[in-house]
């Protein structure tokens, strides 16, 4: 058993407040330094040595060494959140310097291509990314180093740069993976994506961009070329956390998803005296296409209470409302204080795990994990994979009022 305390990396246990789940602490970006002199953004033709094995800055081991790329402003902020968690193979790409400047990453982790932004025009961005293919390849080669296992590309689906550029970046990542022997072919899919859907108020153009982008990436995921694909719904965040200020909003959105992702990536390296969730279990989730995450405190530890909490956690997550019953693989990790774990009958926990199997149907698999930590209380973390994007996905996102409460 590892002697590192689980509370060192485990997001704060949510306290029951109102109906909504608590979120990990939100870093509020400082905005007062945006107007200062622009930093030197490395130009694509700069030749620099790169460290063949770039080391992450975690205090905990992780299951998979990830590279993270942020495209456009939203994508870059997601990538920056991974950086803040300790990921170091992180690069951000944009077509506008004013969007790159506020991202708190070292200048050598930023790439500016083009110079005037894309103004929510995906075609403009698409063209720039295609023309700069080789520059992007050189940049990512330097940022990734040679020792990693998976890549995650993040973008806001409704923008110009992120939406227009993501497909080319995914292609570059496959190229790199294949040159390093990490993939033999694109369908080995060691490249995944996080896409953020716009809120309802962002207008038709943004919605249309998002529709096109999600459609393209869902297609790639169905073709087995990208995995995992995580679709985050900003509208859902707005509804679940209505009181957030503008500054807190993106922080909450990005932090919730990145810390859940990180939790699974770290927990799979931990031994448990109860039930261990391991790296091979996580691999099956990461390789399953569209995935979703949830987290919820368990207050009622009866069999029914645990089942309810697990169901509820899938409803109240911040990811797009795909139907979890279409999934075929799940991970459910319960973390609690030793006293609770020693007193809750195993059957009650089993009932919760079985609930997931029942939701997904006969041929599904549920990987389980039970871990103790020092903080009082019990929390269930869930990830469901192999999800099918419904045919009416876009009606659901954009035509029908998305009500999540």
Q: Are β-strands 90-94 and 66-71 bridged in parallel, bridged antiparallel, or unpaired?
A: parallel
DSSP, res 33: T
Site for ligand GTP in 125-154 (CB under 6 A): none
Smallest gap from Cβ 11 to ligand GTP, in A, equals: 17
**Phi (first) and psi of residue 88, to 5 degrees:** -120, -15
Nearer to Mg ion, 73 or 177 (CB): 73
Among 22, 56, 99, 171, binds ligand GTP (CB under 6 A): 99
Size of the site for ligand GTP (CB under 6 A): 26
Q: Is 90 in the site for ligand GTP (CB under 6 A)?
A: no
Q: Closer to ligand GTP by CB, 160 or 193: give it.
A: 160
Residue 13 binding ligand GTP, by CB under 6 A: no
Q: Return the SS3 of 362.
A: coil
Q: Which does 70 bind (CB under 5 to 8 A by kind): Mg ion, ligand GTP, none?
A: none
C-beta of 62 vs 103, nearer to ligand GTP:
103
Q: Does 161 bind ligand GTP (CB under 6 A)?
A: yes
CA distance 283 to 289: 11
Determine the Cα–Cα distance for residues 20 and 230; give it in Å rounded to an integer: 21
Q: Are strands 191-197 and 150-156 parallel, antiparallel or unpaired?
A: parallel
- The smaller minimum CB distance to ligand GTP, of residues 122 and 307, is found at 122
Stretch that binds Mg ion, among 43-51, 65-73, 127-135, 149-157 (CB under 5 A): 65-73
92, 102 contact by CB (below 8 A): no
Q: Which residue, among 169, 146, 149, 322, has the nearest Cα to 233 in the 3D structure?
A: 322
Quote the least distance from Cβ 195 to ligand GTP, whole Å.
9
Q: Which is nearer to ligand GTP, 172 or 341 (CB)?
A: 172
Does 101 participate in binding Mg ion (rule CB under 5 A)? no
Would you count residue 73 as binding Mg ion (CB under 5 A)?
yes
Nearer CB in complex with Mg ion: 116/187: 116
Binding flag, residue 296, Mg ion (CB under 5 A): no
Element (H, E) at 379: strand 378-387
Q: Which helix (H) or strand (E) holds 100?
A: helix 97-100
Strand order in the sheet with 329-337: 110-112, 90-94, 66-71, 150-156, 191-197, 229-233, 290-298, 378-387, 329-337, 365-373
Give Cα separations from 319 to 174, 237, 258, 274, 295 (angstroms). Answer: 26, 8, 12, 29, 12
Helix axes 161-179, 122-131, angle to 10 degrees: 30
d(CA 132, CA 127): 9
Q: How far is the CB of 182 from ligand GTP (least distance, A)?
A: 27
CB 399 within 8 A of CB 318: no
* List 254, 313, 364, 382, residue binding ligand GTP (CB under 6 A): 254
Say how far apart CA 75 and CA 254 lie, in whole Å: 10
Q: What is the DSSP letter of 127?
A: H
- The CA-atom distances, in angstroms, between 86 and each of 90, 95, 102, 279 are 10, 26, 19, 19
Minimum distance, C-beta of residue 96 to Mg ion, in the bound complex (Å): 5
Nearer to ligand GTP, 60 or 95 (CB): 95
The one segment of 127-135, 159-167, 211-219, 348-356 that binds ligand GTP by CB under 6 A = 159-167
Nearest residue (CB) to ligand GTP, 230 versus 324: 230
The verdict on 72 binding ligand GTP (CB under 6 A) reads yes
Which of ligand GTP, Mg ion, none binds 250 (CB below 5-8 Å, type-dependent)? ligand GTP
Phi, psi (degrees; rounded to nearest 5) at 28 = -95, 120
Identified binder of ligand GTP from the candidate list 67, 118, 229, 387, rule CB under 6 A: 118
Stretch in the footprint of ligand GTP (CB under 6 A) among 114-122, 217-225, 263-271, 352-360: 114-122
For residues 200 and 216, what is the distance between their CA atoms, to the nearest angstrom?
21
**Using CB under 5 A, which of the segments 28-36, 71-79, 383-391, 392-400 binds Mg ion?**
71-79
Comparing CB distances to ligand GTP, the nearer of 170 and 232 is 232
Q: Which one of the spans 70-78, 177-185, 240-248, 377-385 is the region binding Mg ion (CB under 5 A)?
A: 70-78
Residue 402 engages ligand GTP in binding (rule: CB under 6 A) = no
Residues at the contact surface with Mg ion, assessed by CB under 5 A? 73, 99
Residues at the contact surface with ligand GTP, assessed by CB under 6 A? 72-74, 77-78, 95, 99, 117-120, 156, 158-162, 196, 198, 202, 206, 232, 234, 250, 253-254
């Amino acid at each position: 058993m590892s002697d590192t305390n689980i509370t060192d990396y485990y997001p704060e246990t949510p306290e029951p407040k109102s109906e909504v789940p608590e979120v990990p602490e939100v870093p509020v970006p400082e905005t007062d330094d945006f107007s200062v002199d622009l930093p030197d953004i490395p130009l694509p033709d700069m030749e620099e040595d790169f460290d063949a094995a770039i080391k992450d800055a975690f205090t905990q081991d992780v299951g998979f060494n990830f590279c993270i790329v942020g495209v456009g402003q939203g994508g870059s902020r997601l990538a920056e959140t991974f950086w803040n968690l300790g990921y170091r193979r992180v690069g951000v790409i944009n077509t506008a310097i004013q969007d790159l400047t506020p991202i708190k990453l070292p200048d050598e982790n930023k790439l500016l291509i083009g110079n005037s932004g894309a103004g929510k025009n995906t075609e403009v961005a698409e063209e720039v990314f295609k023309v700069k293919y080789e520059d992007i390849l050189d940049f990512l080669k330097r940022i990734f180093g040679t020792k990693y296992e998976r890549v995650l590309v993040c973008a806001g689906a409704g923008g110009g740069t992120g939406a227009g550029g993501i497909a080319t970046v995914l292609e570059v990542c496959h190229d790199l993976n294949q040159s390093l022997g990490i993939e033999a072919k694109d369908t080995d899919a060691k490249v995944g994506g996080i896409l953020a859907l716009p809120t309802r108020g962002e207008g038709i153009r943004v919605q249309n961009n998002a529709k096109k982008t999600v459609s393209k990436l869902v297609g790639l995921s169905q073709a087995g070329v990208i995995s995992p694909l995580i679709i985050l719904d900003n509208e859902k965040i707005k509804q679940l956390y209505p009181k957030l200020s503008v500054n807190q909003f993106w922080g909450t959105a990005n932090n919730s998803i990145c810390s859940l992702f990180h939790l699974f990536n770290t927990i799979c390296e931990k031994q448990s005296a109860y039930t261990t969730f391991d790296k091979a279990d996580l691999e099956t989730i990461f390789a399953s296409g569209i995935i979703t995450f949830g987290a919820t405190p368990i207050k009622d530890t009866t069999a029914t209470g645990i089942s309810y909490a697990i169901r509820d956690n899938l409803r109240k997550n911040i990811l797009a409302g795909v139907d979890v019953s279409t999934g075929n693989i799940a991970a459910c990790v319960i973390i609690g204080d030793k006293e609770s774990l020693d007193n809750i009958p195993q059957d009650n926990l089993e009932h919760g795990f079985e609930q997931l199997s029942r939701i997904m149907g006969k041929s599904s698999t549920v990987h389980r994990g039970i871990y103790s930590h020092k903080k009082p209380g019990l929390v269930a973390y869930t990830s469901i994979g192999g999800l099918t994007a419904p045919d009416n996905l876009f009606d659901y996102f954009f035509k029908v009022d998305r009500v999540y409460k």
